[in-house]
Amino acid sequence: MYILNLLNSSTAVEYLWMTFPSYQDLLRNLDKDNSIVAIGATKNQKPIGLALGQIVQDKIAIIFSLFVDIQERNQGVGTALLTQIETELKARGCKIMQLNYTTGKPTTPAFERLLEKHNWTPPETRTLVCKGDANTVMEANWLKRYSRLPSSYSIFPWQEITPEERQTIQKQQETQPWIPEDLVPFKYEKDLEPLNSLGLRYEGQVVGWVINHRIAPDTIRYTCSFVREDLQKMGRIIILYAEACQRQLNANIPYGMWTVPSFHKSMVAFVRNRWSPYLNAVDESRGTLKLV
């Protein structure tokens, strides 16, 4: 029989591996921050499950992790963990709970049934999560149609963007915005991958970019990409992707991944209709909430 416990900083150490590295500091800071809630499940004094959440603002809580050891699944542990963390967050003043997760796992159907049973709202797709092998991606026949770049364009390493070009883009955004706020390149420059983070110039002006990050020795994440709206139908962003992918291949880095927010409908359609046959997976990041 399993037992549920409200964790503290010392007891949570054994559960660090049950959540993502970016959330592990929450477990370490349980004693310092009353907004963080962690429920641990044990069986025969061995950790077998974790629920981790935090009240972030205005009585809104986010549940970051709900994990059960693979050998202990289908025994009600996940249901008990979710029930307990909901109860604890509510006791600390939470009024709305949010939860995000990614599909494509064997446990996804069971997890969604659990959410439905607990009266969470029907999940909504927030982003597409695309994963592929660079060699296979480069085999896409439509890439060849956009392989030639007119002489009025040039591709350059993003690290070579000039201070003057930066200033021009920033001033344009202040007076006549042309870049969606979530695609402004300067937000993503920290620890960028210099190998294939690229910019696109047209008649001497910066009009596009793809900013990437190495998330594993064999994987590059294509984090932020955009080309000026009046040039999008010409497939200029495809040329940027193709060049970045080729540079990745030349460096023997086999895998790539990227996400597409659902509100960028043209890019979502492009992935569904053109990219998906050449990708290993197109999963979804979904979100749901619950009023308490």
The domain ranges of the chain are: 2-94, 130-285
Please give the C-alpha separations between residue 128 and each of 99, 192, 278, 286, in angstroms, as whole numbers.
Answer: 16, 21, 15, 9
Q: Residue 256, exposed/middle/buried by CB under 10 A (0-12, 13-18, 19+)? A: buried
Q: Residue 209 is which amino acid?
A: W
SS3 call for 137: helix
Band of pLDDT at residue 79, cut at 50, 70 and 90: very high
Whether 210 and 194 have beta carbons less than 8 Å apart is answered as no
How many CB atoms sit inside 10 A of residue 205's CB?
Answer: 12
The reply to whether domains 2-94 and 130-285 share a CATH topology is: yes
Q: So what's the pLDDT on residue 145?
A: 75
Q: So what's the pLDDT on residue 270?
A: 86
**Residue whose C-alpha is closest to residue 145's, from 249, 239, 271, 273:** 239
Q: So what's the pLDDT on residue 98?
A: 97
In angstroms, rounded to a whole number, what is the distance separating the alpha carbons of residues 94 and 58? 8
SS3 call for 236: helix
Q: Residue 64 is which amino acid?
A: F
Helix (H) or strand (E) holding 152: none
- Give, in words, the CATH class of 2-94: alpha beta
* Average confidence (pLDDT) over 265-288: 92
* Average confidence (pLDDT) over 9-34: 95
In angstroms, rounded to a whole number, what is the distance separating the alpha carbons of residues 54 and 60? 8
CATH for the 130-285 domain, from 3.40.630.30, 3.30.1330.60, 3.90.1150.10, 3.40.630.10: 3.40.630.30
Higher pLDDT, residue 146 or 253:
253
